[in-house]
Homo-oligomer: A and B are copies of this chain.
Amino acid sequence: MSHNSFGHLFRVTTWGESHGPAIGCVVDGCPPGIALSEADIQPWLDRRKPGQSKFTTQRREADEVRILSGVFEGQTTGTPIALQIENTDQRSKDYSDIATRYRPGHADVTYDLKYGHRDYRGGGRSSARETASRVAAGGVARQVLTALLGEQVRIRAALVQIGAISIDRSRWDWAETERNPLFSPDAGIVSQWEELLGAIRKDGSSIGAVVEVVAEGPPPGLGAPIYGKLDSDLAAALMSINGVKGVEIGEGFAAAQLQGEQNADPMRMKNGKIVFESNHAGGILGGISTGQPIVARFAMKPTSSILTPVPSVNREGQEIDVMTKGRHDPCIGIRAVPVGEAMMACVLADHLLRDHAQNGWPTTSR
């Protein structure tokens, strides 16, 4: 058991605080002989990097990843891969006033209740900065998936809702997510979102969002019932992202309103393979992938750091008001998009190896 690890056979252990010298992770269990260099990981980190639009924190981090072990002459060796990212723009002084004040919605109070002693600078371990390690690990996971399954697997995410404004799914275009800074698959909604975010930012407020992650082309057979179900592991992985309050697969909560015949995914044969005529299940049945796209969504709460004063208490038990200045994302859902992708990649890589263990390699022949 490890509190700071996820995955079982593709196992990632992350470490580091927001304002320590560096953050990083160790990826253990990666198969040998897989092409890997910093250049395979950096683009994903760049995608998540702060300061890329006016709607994300203005903290500026180079976020340059360094591989310290596990790779030799451009290929993985099967030994642990240590990844490290230096913290360069920490500005500890900005946070000196929160050393003893519990910011509502943040983990300040619970870390203190649990541990008694915490690194309060920038949220310390509970900072969203930790997600950079996830994205780096996700870069490794993508290399594994490509090496073992070919280009068939494609993992992408998009923002599908900000506040009460949802995208129009009929306009979904993956290419569009690369073109706008909000990762919207619907070009038509971007200006509305920007307007909303502008107002939110002006008010010193923040807003929630929903992210959708899709893995296309997964092999069938991934997932290990009963307690290593693919959807169960995805739920844990996505819920572990800072600020996530809900996770759903396929129809998700909407399934509660459906009747059996509405939710059924009919099967037909096509070129000797089973195909499904719909995907209400989100690509998972009984905890095992069907081969259809795996579809997951998660809800992000609004950033807790806002300019509106909120009643709170401090370490000494005094009642205070807390208002959080500083460099914050008005909508943390935006930067969660690449994080969601990374978690999907890691979960799939893990389950691919788990399936190999029990059922042989490659899974692709199914």
Contacts and interface: CB of A to CB of B under 8 A. Distances in A.
Copy number in this complex?
4
A45 to B, nearest CB: 18
A117 B32 contact: yes
Contact of A111 (B5, B116, B119, B286): B286
A118 B221 CA distance: 13
B258 A208 contact: yes
Nearest to A250: B245
A206 interface: yes
Interface string A258-281: 111111111111001010010011
Interface stretch (A19-27, A51-59, A172-180, A181-189): A19-27
A345 to B, nearest CB: 16
B312 A266 contact: yes
Given A81-B15, A124-B72, A221-B114, A255 B301 contact: yes
A223 B228 CA distance: 20
B32 A358 contact: yes
A286 B110 contact: yes
Given A260-B303, A260-B306, A246 B239 contact: no
Interface in A1-30: 1-6, 8-9, 11, 13-17, 20-24, 26, 28-30
A105 B281 contact: yes
A359 interface: yes
Given A33-B115, A78-B115, A236-B236, A301 B246 contact: no
B253 A246 contact: yes
Contacts of A113: 220-221, 288, 290-291, 366
B163 A256 contact: yes
B236 A72 contact: no
Interface residues on A, range: 35 or more
Interface string A220-263: 11011111110111111111101011111111111111111111
A130 interface: yes
Given A11-B1, A114-B221, A319 B257 contact: no
B257 A208 contact: yes
A167 interface: no
Interface in A193-208: 200, 205-208
A15 B82 contact: yes
A150 to B, nearest CB: 15
Given A208-B256, A210-B256, A119 B77 contact: yes
A29 B2 contact: yes
A339 to B, nearest CB: 12
Given A229-B240, A233-B236, A245-B250, 18 more contacts: A1-B1, A3-B29, A15-B26, A15-B68, A16-B68, A32-B115, A104-B267, A110-B220, A110-B288, A114-B223, A207-B258, A210-B256, A245-B249, A246-B248, A246-B252, A263-B302, A268-B313, A272-B317
List 6 A-B pairs, minimum CB-CB distance, nearest first: A107-B286, A246-B248, A110-B288, A236-B236, A260-B306, A206-B260
